Structure 1
Amino acid sequence: MNNYFWNSLISGPGVTIFVLCLYLIQVQTGSDSLWEGVLEDLNQIEKTEMDVFLYTADAKFPANCSIRVKKCFVEEMKVIVYESQLENNNKVHGTMSRIIRIVMEDLEARQNTEISQCQKCETFEEKNYGEFMESFRKNVQRWHREDTEAKRGF
Structure 2
Amino acid sequence: MSALPRRWMHSLGVAKRAALLASITGDDFDLLCAAALLHDVGYAPRLAHTGFHALDGARFLRDEHGSDARLMKLVANHSFALLEAEERGLRSDLESEFPQSSTESLTDALVWCDMTTTPDGEPTTTAERIAEICQRYGTHSLIGRFISRASPEIHKAARRIDEALATHPR
Higher relative contact order (CA 8 A, sep 6+): 1
TM-score bin, normalised by smaller chain: under 0.3
TM-score, normalised to structure 1, is: 0.27
